[in-house]
Structure 1
Amino acid sequence: MVTPRLSRRREAWLRIAAAAAAIALVVVSVALGASIYDGLLLVLFVGVLAQVASLPLALIRPRVAAMLSIAGAPVIMGSAHAGEAPWPWAVTTMITQALVVAALGYRASWLLGAGTLIGVVALSGVLALLVVPSRDQESVAANLVVFACIGGIALAVGNLAREWQAVSQQLVRERRLTEDERARRLVAEEKTRIARELHDIVAHSMSTITIQATSAQARLPQVDAPTRHEFDEIAALSRKALTEMRSLLGVLREPDVPIARTPQPRLSGIAELVKQSQRSGLQVRLRGADSLSDEGVDEAVGLSAYRIVQEALSNVRRHTRGAAVEVRVHRDQNLDLRVRNRSGANRPGTEQTSQPHPPTTEGSGLLGMRERAAGVGGTLSFGPTGDGGYEIHAVLPLHVSSESEGE
């Protein structure tokens, strides 16, 4: 049987209450035994102290408290004379023993509480038969029956309190598990819905782009070689986007659905990413290509760096088409990434289609880059530069720490 656990505050208050009750019972029991029962004060004090001390002790060491309570019974009986008062158990002694039995039933088990009660009653009965004349044994038996009934009720109350506490704690645990399971189910349903919409809408559109770009050379035979090359680039990029989207859909599906794993880009892929941007017409220059080795860099860090540069170049295409872009990579204790563009309005042969730099508010792209950096324990900042351009600066660790993985 598992002992119910209370909060620290409730446990402290329970122990304080038990100690206060024990002190009050010692004072009253000793005074009552000395005045009414004509008990030997020193012996009476030792017996009462042994029995009353078992009350707070029952909350800490139940077995020791049970033995101490049984041992104190004959001391109390032997130190007092019956007279006209109830004997062998006075009212205060009954209250003390009932509280001890209730505490044992609550903190330990009903078996220990029942064993203590039976032991005290049996020992009291045997001693009473040995020292009490036969004419007074009827009143002694009545006293012991009353004491046994009070002790039995106290034991039942303690055991019921124990069971109620255990059931309440189990209900709290079940409710917490239910809430966690419901939250996980809602997240899984939302991820499934997003995956379905991505598949039905975005994937369909990307497939259409791939088909049209691939078949353009057959449908339009009059196009020149550079245009055919552009169509080939569009088809290749759209196929790559479809592959990455399938990987994303696999992540969004429910955990028990098997998914096909596809290789993820790493740090070294930034060089090819820059070349693709150059072939698409973006004026981009890479500095620090010798720092793009995958060796010594965690895969998660390399993937985050690749995605940050990819999103930064996409922002340039959307907001500052015609601007000159510089991708700078430096690697020492950390991985330092800078994607900086300058307005292309003054460059011959270029056309600036939008504002000199992206808006300073955090859109989904900038927020996503910041989350990717934070996900591996790095930082990301962005803002306009003094020459009218815009810079995205990320500092990533080479290795993901355990704290970052926990996040």
Structure 2
Amino acid sequence: MTVAPLLTDTQEAKTRTRQRLIDALVKVLPVLVLLLLSHSGGIRSFNEIGIEVPWYAGILIEILCILPLAFSRTNPGAAAGFMAVFCAAQLLIGAAPSVSALAVPLILYACAKYGTPRVSWSYLAVALLGAAALAAYVMYVDMYYMQQYEYYRDWSDSLASAALFAGFAAAVSLVFWLAGHLAGRRRRELGAISERNQLLIRERDQEARLAADAERMRIAREMHDVVSHSMSVMIAQADGGRYVLAQSPERAEQAFTTISQTGREALTEMRRMLGVLREEDGALQKRPAPGVQDLPQLIDDVAASGLPVRLHMLSESIPQLPEGVGLAAYRIVQEALTNTLKHAGPQAQAEVWVATAAQPSPALMLEVRDSGRGSAATDDGAGSGLLGMTERARLYGGTVTTRAHAGGFDVLARFPLTRGAGEATARTTAEAAPPNRTEETR
């Protein structure tokens, strides 16, 4: 868990070092070469009108004005502040702007592009103040030389010269600052787009993980229903086959045949679901999921296992259901009958009703009743089976109600339908069926 942050910090440090090296080669080195060439004709004096300092101190101050360019991208605010201090020191020692003045617009550009808005605007103001200080310096130099050499010059001419120098310096500063500001805005927009893309990628990955978890939960419920139902049928058939083996070999053979078929069907179903887990490209061909239309076959299979069960349903009265709703209804009936096989006792019978209701709102109604032990059962089955029924119904806006009583156990499930389909099918059911809800008996 700590390797990724360490790698990120290392990569960031390498990037900053590479940026400083590039700035040193592209910005600092050329300006230093120009500075050395400007002094190649002789040593300049830095004490005509200001504080008297040695010539090497003046050159050192100019070099210190240039060196912060190496940090203009990685630390633009600190580099600009460092440069401003030594630019002010140049004016104090009476050094006229030289090659080191080229560093000022470059650092302004870097502040506007790579710095925060506060850094950008602050050092633009500092640069404009520097331009005003340059104007004051020009006027002071003019007055100094007039006194030194005792000649007269109109003060308006000095003011015009000072304004020309200050205006040129301010214009250059503004141009480079605007260029950096536009480049910085584009850089921030690209950074925001990149960050948004990264967020979308993370969100997509998270949704994929959630979808995979939901699919695993769905397959787990499917596995539970398939295994539980198939094992219950096989156990019931095995017990019955062992009982009738000596009395009726034909019935025993039929029981063992049912066990074999049920086991093969369960194995096929499990392979199909496990194949979904293994398949990544969606190329696996799957048979359609069971639905309400497959309930007659389910009833036949349960009846063959020894549980007397009847289905009451008019197939044409049931509307076209979404695949998920049909599968949920099928699994609820399957789980309810499986619980009957497990817990209702040897003399139990079951009935299944499937119909639609229009009041209070259109809905698909499922009801499974058995005449088993009910509340007298030592194990009421209140485990993952009933919980799975409730979760399946809730997934599609439905409800499941269970009730254990002295005469057996009841399971009632309700799935909401669209109003148009529900009303139409309810009318069909009311016209075609007698009031006792027994439409089609299997």
Question: TM-score, structure 1 length as denominator?
Answer: 0.49
Compare CA radii of gyration and give the structure with the larger one. Answer: 2
Question: TM-score, structure 2 length as denominator?
Answer: 0.45
